[in-house]
Amino acid sequence: MNFGTIGAGTIAQAVSRHLVTAGHRVTLSNSRGPSTLDDVVSGLGPLATAGTVAQAAQADVVFLAVTWPHIPAALADLPPWNDRILVDTTNQFARLDPPEVADLGDQTGSEWVASLAPGARVIKAFNTLHARYIEPDPRHPVGRQVLFYAGDDAPAKATFRDLFDDIGFAPVDVGALRDGGRLMQVGGGPLSALHALRQDS
């Protein structure tokens, strides 16, 4: 299985570091083109490469890690998703300073993302954790970092769970994109910014 990131900032790099440490290949991308990512990929080691957004989006599992206003451009004009997995790490901050949460009415953020990536099997994950809880080894002396995830496709969720369980997180399935995604999202979701450890013994 290979991996791609759309966005190459804090979250894309944190997730990519876990993936390459586990021996996986990752293609990172941003809006400015692969040549702007030389330092980022050399910092991640030989399993990381830079690509265009379209190249990164062709991976088996793709992480969407751009800020909210950039999502439509980031997902525009991509090759067909053909059931590949898209992990939505985003939070729906229409603006950061001062913070303003985008109002999507009844729709959750990841349902909106899914509507922009037809044919992708979308999983929402990582958005509940601040980067400083994603970056370190998730295996802490007193337990594993809990990683909430939501999605509508059971096999895609199993792939995601097994991958990040192997990396050392404690994945916790919170349901479908609609109900689970709502629990996880900024603007009132009770799991948003909930940093928990799972005791294994």
Question: Nearest residue to ligand NAP, using CB?
Answer: 9
- Which is closer to ligand NAP, CB of 154 or CB of 193? 193
With CB under 6 A as the contact rule, which of the stretches 30-38, 105-113, 136-144, 175-183 interacts with ligand NAP? 30-38
Write the binding mask 131 to 170 for ligand NAP: x where contact by CB under 6 A, - elsewhere: x---------------------------------------
| Residues pairing with 26 in the sheet | 3, 48
| Residues pairing with 61 in the sheet | 3, 85
Stretch (H or E) spanning 162: helix 154-167
CA gap 149, 63 in Å, rounded: 13
Cα torsion angle, 164, 19, 87, 95, sign:
positive
The reply on whether position 127 binds ligand NAP by CB under 6 A is: yes
Count of helix runs (H) and strand runs (E) in the chain: 8, 12
Interacting residue ranges for ligand NAP, rule: CB under 6 A: 6-12, 29-32, 53, 65-68, 70, 73-74, 89-91, 93, 126-127, 129-131
